[in-house]
Amino acid sequence: MPKFQRHIFTCINERPAGSPRGCCTEKGSADVAEAFKRQLHEAGLRRIVRANKAGCLDQCSRGTTVVVYPEGVWYGGVSVTDVDEIIKRHIIGGEVVDRLVIPDSDLTGRATLTKAGDAERVALKPLALDGPQAPNKTDSE
């Protein structure tokens, strides 16, 4: 079976009420995760792009957090109304949605280092919508 071209991880972590860090679930992340799954399916991309639910992505103060791999693009403050734009512009078109990006310098994790010591990022490219992973009628039903 061919591998997925992209994975979309949406944080659905839930913290106790009143937690100073907050949590993505109280900011609507479960609805965002379901919107990704539904809209990818409707676009015929369910076997090309995988919508995943994730535990804590450690960006709690930034609202609902979504990360797209293999590019390693992190989005913060994502709402259900942003899902269509992320799918059309980033997932299909290969263009980052800049207004939602969490800059690398603001992420709480560490960058992957190359031998030269520079942060490594996979280049964006549009989805390959032809060939063995092309959507077909059964993918969008």
Whether residue 126 lies inside any domain: the answer is yes
pLDDT at 135: 54
- 125-134 pLDDT tens trace: 666 666 555 5
Whether residue 141 lies inside any domain: the answer is no
- 61-105 pLDDT tens trace: 788 999 999 999 999 999 999 999 999 999 999 999 999 999 888
The domain of 82 spans 6-131
Helix, coil or strand: residue 22 = coil
Whether residue 54 lies inside any domain: the answer is yes
Average pLDDT, the chain: 81
Whether residue 136 lies inside any domain: the answer is no
Whether residue 139 lies inside any domain: the answer is no
Instruction: Specify the CATH number for the domain of residue 43.
Output: 3.40.30.10
Whether residue 103 lies inside any domain: the answer is yes
Whether residue 47 lies inside any domain: the answer is yes
Q: pTM for this one?
A: 0.76
Torsion angle defined by CA atoms of residues 53, 56, 57 and 60, in that order, rounded to the nearest 10 degrees: 120
Whether residue 78 lies inside any domain: the answer is yes
Half-sphere exposure of 119 (CA within 13 A, CB side): 12
Q: What is the DSSP string of 29-98?
A: HHHHHHHHHHHHHHTT-TTTEEEEEES--S-GGGSS-EEEETTTEEE-S--HHHHHHIIIIIIIT----G
Domain count for the chain, please give it: 1
**Cis preceding-peptide flag for 70 (omega within 30 of 0):** yes
